[in-house]
């Protein structure tokens, strides 16, 4: 039986990955913050249905010793590092803590694995935000990085660490360069869940307005369960490598909101108002991924178009 350690197991991707690994007979260990164990019904709501099948370990990304102890004790065959401060907007307000949490957390994990469990395979959740402001679309593994937020910088710096541990120390360490992926387990601050949840409240008469930022913004939105399938496949390959994981299709926020409201028989124009607080700088060229490498190497491809993802909400 393989043993896996997931950081960020309470998040969207961590919960789907835990399901996937349990279904494949893994012994699943999850790293969570101490507060989450104390308040599990609320803070572990994505994985409450899996609690009996997961061994939880309290540790914090900013505490190297706590991470080292967990790795030394669990001796995982595979480690999926998904924990991060993941909301890009916060990174404009809280630069220091986001950079240190995301970067140091990755560094502490890699260093601990090198010392205590060097044969463990390691996956790092990178981001399309590592490409940031781009000169061309779609982007692939050869596209130059040009991050535009502290979040993007934290992910890019971590990605360089992953490569360094692979080439210098021989760790089986990989980065998935993930484009946006969504599901009903997405946190409410992200635009997709914000739209679908508020549209439902409006339909039920519990709210009357939805305040959004830039409706023209384009994103390459995929389906979270597809992306954790890709993450798992990356660690099953014979060679460690880095891959773009994306659908290759862009939709605007306006298309998303139109689809979500019309699904409920509503016209979004009657309810949506623009609020400058949610506005981010417009992008000349959108982030849109070319996933040819992972399709050719691992046979992975996305299964759900955006309309079907929205319909699931
Ligand atoms: P979520 O925001 O849903 O989950 C993040 C997880 O990280 C939560 O379990 C959270 O725990 C944990 N976490 C955050 N800060 C800390 C900390 N200081 N110490 C310990 N745990 C912490 O993210 P997703 O599941 O959507 O994404 C997974 C990963 O993939 C992230 O690294 C994200 O940056 C990356 N990514 C995601 C994309 C997407 O579209 N979803 C696209 C590109 C990259 P808690 O519940 O206690 O806060
Ligand atoms: P993103 O996701 O920043 O791409 O990061 P988010 O859903 O926050 O924004 C997507 C796009 O929607 C536009 N937008 C709004 N966004 C929010 N949150 N709220 C609004 O009201 C709103 N109105 C318009 C944004 O400007 C943006 O263009 C996600 C996270 O999962 C990251 O962790 C991950 O690395 C990237 O995707 C790839």
Strand-strand pairing, 78-81 and 121-127 = parallel
pLDDT at 311 over 90: no
Closest to 86 (Cα-Cα) out of 108, 63, 105, 69 = 105
299 found inside a domain: no
3-state SS record for 208-225 = CCEEECCCCCEECCEEHH
Q: Which of 100-109, 239-248, 281-290 has the lowest mean pLDDT?
A: 281-290
Q: Which domain holds residue 265?
A: 188-219+250-287+304-312
pLDDT at 119: 98
CATH number at residue 210: 3.90.25.10
pLDDT at 43: 86
What pLDDT sits at residue 37? 80
Per-residue confidence (pLDDT) for residue 29, from 0 to 100: 98
* Ligand 1 center from residue 81 Cα (angstroms): 9
Q: In the prediction, which pLDDT does 46 show?
A: 94
Look at residue 119 and give its three-state secondary structure. Answer: coil
Q: What residues have CB less than 8 Å from 228, skipping those under 6 apart?
A: 13, 16, 17, 20
Question: Is residue 298 in a domain?
Answer: no
205-222 burial, b for 16+ CB within 10 Å, e for fewer? eeeeebebbbbebbbbbb
Q: Catalytic site residue 129? A: yes
pLDDT at 92 over 90: no
pLDDT in tens, 33-46: 988 887 787 889 99
Encode pLDDT of 4-59 as tens digits. Answer: 999 999 999 999 999 999 999 999 999 999 888 877 878 899 999 999 999 999 99
* Pair 134, 201 in one domain: no
Q: Which one from 129, 223, 227, 268 is the annotated catalytic residue?
A: 129
Does residue 282 have a pLDDT over 80? no
**CA pair distance 7, 66, nearest whole angstrom:** 13
> What count of Cα atoms within 13 Å lies in the side-chain half-sphere of residue 276?
0
List the structure tokens of 14: 């961590």
Q: HSE (CB half, 13 Å, CA atoms) of 123?
A: 32
Is residue 278 lining ligand 2, measured as CB closer than 6 Å? yes
Q: For 97-121, what is the mean pLDDT? A: 97
Please check whether residue 294 lies inside any domain of the structure.
Answer: no
Q: Are 281 and 217 in contact (CB under 8 A)?
A: no
Mean pLDDT score across all residues of the chain: 95
Q: Are residues 273 and 156 in the same domain?
A: no
Q: Residue whose CA is closest, atom 33 of ligand 2? A: 86
CA nearest ligand 1 atom 26, residue: 12
Q: Residue 91 has what pLDDT? A: 66
Number of the ligand 1 atom closest to the C-alpha atom of 13? 25
CA distance 84 to 112: 18
Q: How far is the CA of 93 from the centre of ligand 1 (A)?
A: 18
Number of folded domains that form the chain: 2
Find out whether the beta carbon of 91 lies less than 6 Å from any atom of ligand 2: no
Q: Is the dihedral of CA 5, 11, 12, 18 positive or negative?
A: positive
Same domain, 264 and 172: no
Of the chain, the percentage scoring pLDDT greater than 70 comes to 100
Q: Which atom of ligand 2 is nearest to the CA of 127?
A: 35
Ligand 1 atom closest to Cα of residue 101: 18
Residue 124 within any structural domain of the chain: yes
State the distance from the centre of ligand 1 to the C-alpha of 267, rounded, in angstroms.
33
Going by pLDDT thresholds of 50, 70 and 90, the confidence category of residue 199 is very high
Q: Mutate which of 6, 11, 190 to test ligand 1's pocket (most atoms within 8 Å of Cβ)? A: 11
* 196 & 265 share domain: yes
The C-alpha angle 311, 227, 180, rounded to 5 degrees, equals 70
Model pLDDT, residue 110: 98
Q: Are residues 155 and 229 in the same domain?
A: yes
Query: Could you report the per-residue pLDDT of 113-152, keeping only the tens digit for each?
Result: 999 999 999 999 999 999 999 999 999 999 999 999 999 9
| Residue percentage of the chain with pLDDT more than 90 | 90
pLDDT per position as a tens digit, 227-273: 999 999 999 999 999 999 999 999 999 999 999 999 999 999 999 99
In-domain check, residue 292: no
Q: Is the same domain home to 89 and 132?
A: yes
Report the pLDDT value the prediction gives residue 284, as an integer from 0 to 100. 86
186, 14 contact by CB (below 8 A):
no
In a domain, 295, yes or no: no
């Amino acid at each position: 039986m393989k043993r896996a350690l997931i950081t960020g197991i309470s998040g969207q991707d961590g919960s789907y990955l835990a399901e996937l690994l349990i279904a494949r007979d893994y012994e699943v260990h999850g790293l969570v913050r101490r507060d989450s164990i104390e308040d599990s019904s609320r803070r572990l709501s994505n994985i409450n249905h899996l609690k009996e099948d997961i061994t939880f370990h309290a540790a914090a990304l900013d505490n190297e010793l706590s991470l080292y102890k967990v790795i030394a004790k669990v001796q995982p065959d595979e480690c999926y590092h998904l924990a991060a401060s993941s909301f890009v907007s916060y990174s404009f307000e809280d630069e220091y803590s986001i950079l240190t949490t995301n970067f140091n957390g990755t560094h502490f994990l890699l260093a601990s694995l090198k010392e205590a469990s060097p044969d463990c395979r390691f996956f790092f959740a990178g981001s399309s935000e590592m490409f940031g402001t781009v000169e061309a679309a779609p982007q692939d593994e050869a596209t130059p990085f040009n991050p535009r937020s502290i979040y993007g910088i934290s992910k890019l710096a971590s990605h360089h660490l992953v490569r360094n541990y692979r080439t210098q120390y021989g760790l089986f360490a990989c980065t998935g360069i993930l484009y946006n992926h969504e599901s009903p387990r997405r946190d409410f601050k992200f635009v997709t869940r914000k739209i679908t949840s508020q549209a439902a409240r409006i339909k039920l008469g519990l709210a009357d307005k939805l305040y959004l930022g830039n409706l023209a913004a384009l994103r390459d939105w995929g389906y979270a369960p597809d992306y954790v399938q890709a993450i798992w496949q990356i660690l099953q390959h014979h060679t460690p490598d880095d891959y773009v994981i994306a659908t290759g299709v862009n939709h605007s926020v306006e298309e998303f909101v139109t689809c979500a409201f019309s699904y409920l028989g509503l016209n979004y124009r009657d309810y949506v108002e623009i609020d400058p607080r949610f506005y981010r700088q417009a992008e000349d060229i959108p982030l849109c991924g070319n996933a040819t490498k992972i399709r050719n190497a691992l046979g992975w491809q996305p299964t759900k178009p955006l309309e079907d993802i929205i319909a699931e909400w």
